[in-house]
Chains A and B, each alone.
Chain A
């Protein structure tokens, strides 16, 4: 009886968006089979997918709920460590945990389960620190979560936890993105999947977040962001909604951390610095606070610019006999910072503002219709 009223109408813009995303996936799959696996393109896509997921998760918290959290690196660390700890093959444990007698954990979980476990662990920590921290507002909350991330980083390097976390030594030899490639009998790669699978993982997670944002729950989060008092007067429970949003955001940050571990092939607590959180924050701001599409686009642009396109600035370049001045190690970062300043100056709302891909398509459709009408 209720079906006719509750069923959501899916407009053509949404379908076109889905088709575009699908085409991108197919393109990546084809490219991966023909372009050498060492190409920077795939490095960028893998890291970009990881950062996109974390950026969207941060956007869920900071952009859609208005909880200004800077604990992302901490939650990623938890996800990465849980993934690493539970997936290192038994045979390799003696090697990895060489100072801790092979470590405490003596079983192995499938990568998929370990990844979800990493997310759950991050969500659990988020729940715990959310109890005191979510009572704070804006900058105080940011400082508290930042402090949490630093504590976690120190904690995981603590020698006493060594049998589990391997102290300040790195975790390694766990399954990485390269293990997604399908190999033939002699060990040669027959189907390359090492870029497609991370993109798929990130895609599925981001898809879940999008569904969440568009649900009644997501609408309540946006209401809280816009006006807490009015939201409360509408009957929305502030505390439980904020806590849930914070935990869900951290869950996906944890999954993102596990993906980062797979990308890097090693995990070390000291690399999960505040600077990493700032990188993610930068991606969110450049993409547009409150736009999932923006976070995705800007994370790929960010990674591509910082890892690939601007690399030439760090080396001596000769044009004929002329040596281009200024180009030396580190100059890339100067140019990069200037680009970011320009972006922030000219795109105040970020690349996408609060718009999503389907919104853009709807605008184009409308313009197209307008033109048709005027030409008639």
Chain B
């Protein structure tokens, strides 16, 4: 499995914010069709990793290889065009646009204008709640609905790789369960997902491959189950009672 060419290869990635090293050289792979998760505490560099991949922040050194192409020099637009879509942290839907307009923005770079309507219908089938709210402003949706919209919006770009930045952030436990069910569904449909989470328990349960990020370094890696069973992970991230 490891021998097969990875979809996304990150090697020795370093990112600086001013004088601060946010990422001190991390390497990880994302295989086609898998859910790969990065877990870690606040400030570990999880979001920075995603922002570096999507071209929103400049990298200091290292390589990011997507489907055989070096995407380090790409800007955000080119990265999206390559097939990497992002569900940003805190959802960041466009509050004053309707649900439908939000979805259309997601397809902004798609050339096949004719198929966008049918793409929107596909999203509505997956999230019937969005169909009901089609003409509502996105800002009036509940947190869970906004997260669905953010996922739908990213799916409108028809990405090969979907990156999700803390999709469970600020959502009620029941809604979090829904969101992770959606993530599993997306995987079942063959979409590769790079998931970033503080909710380590839920993330590890659905992940094929997982990495633990601590202050800009990867300190542990393994399959989701391995890390879920690891005592150090249990102590640090899962709040295990078996101390």
Contact = CB atoms under 8 A, between A and B. Distances in A.
Interface of A: 1-2, 5-6, 216, 219-220, 222-223, 225-227, 229-237, 290, 354
Interface in B109-160: 109, 113-115, 117-118, 153, 157
Interface in B75-106: 75-77, 79-81, 86, 88, 92-97, 101, 104-106
Among B104, B108, B118, the most chain A Cβ lie within 10 Å of the Cβ of: B108
Contacts of B115: 5
A232 B76 contact: yes
Contacts of B118: 5
B34 interface: no
Nearest to A354: B96
A222 B113 contact: no
B59 interface: no
Nearest to A232: B76
B171 interface: no
B54 interface: yes
A230 B88 contact: yes
Contacts of A290: 96
Contact of B94 (A6, A230, A354): A230
Give the one of A2, A222, A226, A235 with max B CB within 10 A. Answer: A235
B158 to A, nearest CB: 12
A234 B114 contact: no
A223 B105 contact: yes
A6 B56 CA distance: 33
A227 B94 contact: yes
A48 to B, nearest CB: 28
A54 B87 CA distance: 38
Q: A-side binding surface: helix, strand, loop or mixed?
A: helix
Contacts of A219: 97, 101, 104-105
Contacts of A229: 56, 88, 92
A226 B94 contact: yes
A235 B109 contact: yes
A215 to B, nearest CB: 11
Nearest to A5: B114
Contacts of B81: 235
A6 B77 contact: no
Interface of B: 54, 56, 75-77, 79-81, 86, 88, 92-97, 101, 104-106, 108-109, 113-115, 117-118, 153, 157
Given A5-B114, A219-B105, A227-B92, A234 B97 contact: no
A222 B97 CA distance: 7
Nearest to B150: A230
A227 B92 CA distance: 7
A356 to B, nearest CB: 13
B213 to A, nearest CB: 21
B76 A233 contact: yes
23 contacts: A2-B114, A6-B114, A216-B104, A216-B108, A219-B97, A219-B101, A223-B94, A223-B105, A226-B94, A226-B95, A229-B56, A229-B92, A231-B105, A232-B56, A234-B80, A234-B108, A234-B109, A235-B77, A235-B81, A235-B109, A235-B157, A236-B108, A354-B96
What are the nearest 7 A-B pairs in CB distance? A235-B80, A230-B92, A226-B94, A235-B109, A2-B114, A235-B77, A232-B76
A252 B123 CA distance: 39
Nearest to B96: A226
A216 B105 CA distance: 8
A237 to B, nearest CB: 5
A222 B96 contact: yes
Given A219-B97, A219-B105, A225-B96, A233 B88 contact: yes
Contacts of B95: 226-227
Contacts of A220: 105, 108
Contacts of B117: 5
A6 B75 CA distance: 30
A113 B171 CA distance: 58
Given A222-B101, A226-B97, A290-B96, A233 B86 contact: yes
Contacts of A6: 113-114
A235 B108 contact: yes
Given A6-B113, A216-B104, A219-B104, A236 B92 contact: no
A223 B88 contact: no
Contacts of A2: 113-114
A290 B80 CA distance: 29
A316 B235 CA distance: 85
Contacts of A234: 80, 105-106, 108-109, 153, 157
A285 to B, nearest CB: 17
A370 B59 CA distance: 58
A197 to B, nearest CB: 36
A66 to B, nearest CB: 10
B128 to A, nearest CB: 22
Contacts of B77: 232, 235-237
A91 to B, nearest CB: 54
Contacts of B96: 222, 225-226, 290, 354
Contacts of B56: 229, 232-233
Contacts of B94: 222-223, 226-227, 230-231
A2 B75 CA distance: 31
A231 B93 CA distance: 9
A2 B117 CA distance: 11
A235 B76 contact: yes
